[in-house]
Structure 1
Amino acid sequence: MKGNFPVTALENIETPFYYYNIPLLRETLGVVTHEAGKYNYHVHYAVKANANSRILSVICENGIGADCVSGGEIKAALKAGFSADKIVYAGVGKSDWEIDLGLDTDIFCFNVESIPELNVINERASIKNKIAPVALRLNPNVDAHTHHYITTGLNENKFGINLIHLEGVLDHLSGLKNVKLVGLHFHIGSQITDMDAFKSLCVRINEIQETLYRRHIIVDIINVGGGLGVDYENPDRQPIPEFKSYFEVFYRHLKLRPKQQLHFELGRSLVCQCGSLMTKVLYVKEGVNKKFVIVDAGMTDLIRPALYQAYHKIENLSSEGPVREYDVVGPICESSDCFGKCVSLNETKRGDLIALRSAGAYGEIMASRYNCRELPKVRYSDDI
């Protein structure tokens, strides 16, 4: 063992592959359900973070709902055992067949992002003689101070409805007979570690609720999305995010109306730390001023460093040698296929097993077959 990894067993498995620590996932889910349960909060898992069938099944076993952003994710959630009445369907571009799927399976709610989308949902529901429950996704214009690719709650963003348009949307909604307004939905971004951002969201929601109250509108559901970040720098220091403080922020600062339910859509924080990408060293190449560790995993297996310049802690599980600095790169024919520069690793040689940590979220699910590569395989801790 090195850390929580059964190195001897893992070294005999063909790389690259994703390794999931199932006990850690179960422990994380236990903390989430306990902390949310204190306030009778409802948690949905954001399937886009990781749709691995085994991961979905474990999450479903814990009574958590599903947050889906495509028809495919709705199908995956249903197949894994999630009850339709716990499935929320978000997404800025829902096609007709996806809307029909949600209506036919009687999902809990559609999170709606525009008047044109409201119109189409109303039309599809009318054809089926159904009433579609909808929540309006509003942009609260709260800056989460994260990477610009994963900030979603600002005014100038493809997601959601700007607050200046809210009155017009409410007026339009009142004329639609086959949709029912049941909630308000918010999501300000991802990988948020500053709790003040969530406090600001609470303040803005309180203001919006007051505006609606003046129109005699009280919705049943407030959905605050997700966004809670994880510790990529040192995953062993905090393998389970600070859910206690997270839920407390909303309990202290959000003013719910009587009988209103508060819903969350957590993804990264549930699954990120339970997953690692395992890869082996193909070559150690001498450069002019640096050494390159060339591994058999690439951006096709974990695209986040190339796409977001995201950091993942990299560890040599095979070596206890002195620490050296390397650039860790993959085999893809792209200069951006780099997992890290000037990475401190124990002295590394061909065949060493390398772990890219905190890869349980947006790792396997974003893998591709670019360069005609095979998709990464998967192994689970309780199967080894």
Structure 2
Amino acid sequence: MVYAGVGKSDWEINLGLEKGIACFNVESIAELEVIEELAVAAGKTANVAFRINPNIGAHTHANITTGLAENKFGIAMQDMEKVIERADAMKNINVVGLHFHIGSQILDMGDFEALCNRINELQAKLENQNIHVQSINVGGGLGVSYDSPDRQPIPDFKDYFRTYTTHLRLREGQQLHFELGRSIVAQCGSLISRVLYVKQGTHKQFAILDAGMTDLIRPALYQALHKIQNLTSEEPAETYDVVGPICESSDVFAKAIDLNKCHRGDLIAIRSAGAYGEIMASSYNCRKLPKGYITEDL
């Protein structure tokens, strides 16, 4: 188990030390000092990897890029050697690796190739100082097909792993770690909702659902696209804005999309909701949290 995150609380760090987790991914000198202080107090040695900000722009939504110098994540490249030297002087800290993450929902393999090239540069720089690490964590980021989940239910893992095999120069015995969250689970879940009302507006008609941004916040948060299907109707398609019941103008799942003619009570499927869906739900507007159902029969 690895603990990553830019703001680790003391109790979380202590829990990780108590359970002997594999590694803390450290994002600042201030965090390193706190981990060392708590490790000393607990009589433990903390394994750490340093998250390095590679200053690489990923071809994805601005809100889910994480590898630019302007982002809050990671340690600046120019500070990498200084931080490792600082850690080496701490008796209760054991440096085991480097961690990177450039963003999420990335479909351009060129972004991952750029990351490989940057890691190669940084490793060579460290080796010039006789610094060697056991592991490289390249993060995740591989995207999925939100517009065609049936045609492409599984991401292009072959091309993804081939990119790293071709371009990343690992050292002998060095471990390579991936964080494949969304790419594995996104297509495994759908948000199922009912139409409460079909409302004819001045210029458009709305399909108002009983699900809203409290159940699936991605469209409201960064205008994310999800394929939407009317599971009940086989009537000719009409154009709708698909919206939720929350008192926010951003509570919109999609605008001007074609659905089979909607009626009150129709079942609507919002696809590819297995990642960043239920886990990000809230009770805002006095809403109940959505219920999840799991089956292996599909």
State the partner residue of 2:221.
307
Q: Find the aligned partners of 2:130 and 2:229 in 1 and give their Cα distance.
A: 57
C-alpha deviation, 1:383, in angstroms: 7.3
C-alpha deviation, 1:142, in angstroms: 1.0
Match of 1:211, SS state, is helix
- The letter for the 2-side match of 1:210 is A
Aligned ranges for residues 48-67 of structure 1 at < 5 Å?
none
Overall identity of the aligned pairs, in %: 65
Q: Find the aligned partners of 1:253 and 1:344 in 2 and give their Cα distance.
A: 43
State the partner residue of 2:161.
247
Give the one of 222, 235, 238 matched to 1:321: 235
Cα pair 2:225 2:254 within 8 Å, conserved: yes
Deviations 1:254-307 (A, max 9, x none): 000110000011111111001000000111111122111111001111111111
State the partner residue of 1:25.
none
State the partner residue of 1:367.
281
Deviations 1:242-263 (A, max 9, x none): 1111111111110001100000
Cα pair 2:84 2:95 within 8 Å, conserved: no
Q: Find the aligned partners of 1:209 and 1:92 in 2 and give their Cα distance.
A: 23
2:176 is the counterpart of 1:273: no
Q: Find the aligned partners of 1:227 and 1:373 in 2 and give their Cα distance.
A: 31
Structure 1: state its 5+ residue gaps.
Answer: 1-86
Q: Find the aligned partners of 2:248 and 2:62 in 1 and give their Cα distance.
A: 23
- The letter for the 1-side match of 2:50 is L
Give the one of 173, 187, 193 matched to 1:259: 173
TM-score normalized with structure 2 length: 0.98
2:28 is the counterpart of 1:111: no
- The letter for the 1-side match of 2:276 is Y
Cα pair 2:88 2:95 within 8 Å, conserved: no
Runs of 4+ in 1 over 3 A off after TM superposition: none
2:80 is the counterpart of 1:152: no
Cα pair 2:81 2:126 within 8 Å, conserved: no
2:112 is the counterpart of 1:213: no
State the partner residue of 1:224.
138
Task: Report the aligned-residue RMSD.
Answer: 1.1
Task: Tell me how many residue pairs correspond in the alignment.
Answer: 298
TM-score normalized with structure 1 length: 0.76
- The letter for the 2-side match of 1:251 is T
Give the one of 201, 205, 220 matched to 1:287: 201
Deviates more, 1:350-359 or 1:372-381: 372-381
C-alpha deviation, 1:167, in angstroms: 2.5
Cα pair 2:27 2:52 within 8 Å, conserved: yes
C-alpha deviation, 1:240, in angstroms: 0.8
C-alpha deviation, 1:139, in angstroms: 0.6
2:25 is the counterpart of 1:139: no
Deviations 1:316-373 (A, max 9, x none): 0001111110011111111111111101101111111000000000010011111111
The structure whose RCO (Cα within 8 Å, separation 6+) is larger is: 1
Give the one of 90, 99, 109 matched to 2:13: 99
Q: Find the aligned partners of 1:277 and 1:287 in 2 and give their Cα distance.
A: 25
Match of 2:239, SS state, is strand
- The letter for the 1-side match of 2:66 is T
Structure 2: state its 5+ residue gaps.
Answer: none
Q: Find the aligned partners of 1:358 and 1:164 in 2 and give their Cα distance.
A: 39
Deviations 1:74-122 (A, max 9, x none): xxxxxxxxxxxxx010011111110011010010111000111111111
Q: Find the aligned partners of 2:148 and 2:85 in 1 and give their Cα distance.
A: 49
Deviations 1:188-208 (A, max 9, x none): 000000000000000000000
State the partner residue of 1:128.
42
